[in-house]
A and B are shown apart, each in its own frame.
Chain A
Amino acid sequence: MKRIHGLFVGLSLMAAAGGCAGKDNLIVLTPDDSGRVGALKVSNDGGETVLDREGQALHLGDRRTSPGAPAPISDEERAFFAAALAAQPLAPVSYFLCFEFDSNNLTAESRQRLDDILRAARERGSQDFLVIGHTDRAGDADYNAALSLQRAEAVRELLAEKGVAAEVIQISSHGEGNPLIPTADEVAEARNRRVEVVVR
């Protein structure tokens, strides 16, 4: 029995050595919008390595093989990712629509932006809109809670008029509690009289 066990250990060691020679697995960092890369750590039974530089990749075997040191990535290796990169969805995008004072009427300028929102939705094939109403801090908080909801509902109406199905629009309202520009209470601030539309 002992001998059989020894044979198995020998075989699994060979398998591990084979996996080590392969090292087909690969991790490479990519920059964010501002061009910076982050940092990650790979750990397994063989040890751990930090990857924190652009253009460097970890060439990895199985879980028993030490992650080793980062090394440059070749163009051939980058080409492995073409299909996954082509399938990458567009990131969600936010628009701010502004309102006239104490009103659920959009400013003329913001009315123009509705078409941008629809274009973003078409580009994304989106059926997922968040519409979030806000007010400035002029007036009473309860009144503003109601006004922010009316503003969100007004935007939902406008989107529905342009052909967006009501069931794909989620509305919510934050009253005066979530200003874009922090102000003292009772201050009228045009930039806070807004509805945020997120196209996901």
Chain B
Amino acid sequence: MKKILFFCAALLLSAAFVAAQTEPAHIGRVKGTSGMVSIQRAGALKPAFPNMKVYLNDTLLTGSDGAVGILLEDNTLLSMGPMSRLALDKFDFSPAQNKYALQLRMEQGTFVYLSGLLGKLAPHAVSLDTPSGTISMLKDTNFMARFGGDE
């Protein structure tokens, strides 16, 4: 009996482990694309298409004719124009645990940022790294930005 219990527990644990390993929660979705848009994930570059899920540590890239819009799980709306690069460095939207974080790296290009629930509930948890310095939110804020990238 003990053995069976142990076996069941081990099975449950390994199932939980496999679930955690194979299915990290997505943090948003691609909503629309035009022209060439890619996602760099774990070293590989794949084409982006509407409704594709995006994950932590993804980098979104657009080509010279590209544009993309994404919706994060907290309703932050981000879009970017041609020749742009955006890295998703940190995202935590857990109101039940009172945990909030959003950290993005705008490396190059043009960006439109429309604040979501993270920006409303915890503006100080939002920070954006850019070639010109760090943007920190003092309150719920929408903005547009353009960066030529690091020379």
Question: Could you tell me if A63 and B133 are in contact, using CB atoms closer than 8 angstroms?
Answer: yes
* Segment from A79-87, A96-104, A135-143, A148-156 that makes contact with B: A79-87
A29-B143 contact in complex given A39-B138, A81-B110, C-beta closer than 8 Å: yes
Q: Give every chain A residue within 8 A of B110 (Cβ-Cβ).
A: 80-81, 83-84
Is the interface on chain A under 10, 10 to 19, 20 to 34, or 35 or more residues? 35 or more
Interface of B is mostly: strand
Question: Could you tell me if B138 and A85 are in contact, using CB atoms closer than 8 angstroms?
Answer: no
Question: Could you tell me if A25 and B130 are in contact, using CB atoms closer than 8 angstroms?
Answer: yes
- Count residues on chain B whose CB falls below 8 Å from chain A CBs: 47
Question: Could you tell me if B50 and A30 are in contact, using CB atoms closer than 8 angstroms?
Answer: no
A89-B69 contact in complex given A19-B151, A81-B146, A84-B80, C-beta closer than 8 Å: yes
List B residues 53-92 near A (Cβ within 8 Å).
67-71, 75, 77, 79-82, 84
List A residues 89-117 near B (Cβ within 8 Å).
89-92
List A residues 41-83 near B (Cβ within 8 Å).
41-46, 48, 50-52, 60-63, 65, 67, 80-83
CA distance A200 to B51 in the complex (A): 10
Q: Shortest Cβ distance from B84 into chain A, in angstroms? A: 8
Q: Does A189 contact B (CB under 8 A)?
A: no
Question: Could you tell me if B142 and A41 are in contact, using CB atoms closer than 8 angstroms?
Answer: no
CA distance A31 to B67 in the complex (A): 22
Q: Shortest Cβ distance from B121 into chain A, in angstroms? A: 14
Question: Could you tell me if B112 and A81 are in contact, using CB atoms closer than 8 angstroms?
Answer: yes
A87-B135 contact in complex given A25-B148, A28-B143, A128-B51, C-beta closer than 8 Å: no
Q: Does B136 contact A (CB under 8 A)?
A: yes
CA distance A48 to B138 in the complex (A): 13
Q: Give every chain A residue within 8 A of B33 (Cβ-Cβ).
A: 87
Q: Give every chain A residue within 8 A of B142 (Cβ-Cβ).
A: 29-32, 37-38
Q: Give every chain A residue within 8 A of B141 (Cβ-Cβ).
A: 29, 37-40
A87-B79 contact in complex given A30-B142, A39-B139, A80-B146, C-beta closer than 8 Å: yes
A83-B144 contact in complex given A38-B115, A42-B133, A44-B133, C-beta closer than 8 Å: no
CA distance A92 to B117 in the complex (A): 12
Question: Could you tell me if A38 and B133 are in contact, using CB atoms closer than 8 angstroms?
Answer: no
Q: Give every chain B residue within 8 A of A26 (Cβ-Cβ).
A: 145-146
**Chain B residue with minimal CB distance to A27?**
B145
Question: Could you tell me if B34 and A87 are in contact, using CB atoms closer than 8 angstroms?
Answer: yes
Question: Could you tell me if A30 and B144 are in contact, using CB atoms closer than 8 angstroms?
Answer: yes
Q: Does A182 contact B (CB under 8 A)?
A: no
Shortest 3 CB-CB contacts between residues of A and residues of B: A38-B141, A44-B133, A83-B81
Q: A29-B143, A42-B134, A63-B131 are in contact. List 4 more A-B contacts (CB 8 A).
A: A38-B140, A81-B144, A84-B144, A88-B112
19 contacts between A and B (CB under 8 A): A19-B151, A25-B130, A25-B146, A26-B145, A27-B132, A30-B114, A38-B137, A38-B138, A39-B141, A41-B135, A50-B138, A83-B110, A84-B79, A87-B112, A88-B77, A88-B112, A91-B77, A125-B51, A128-B29
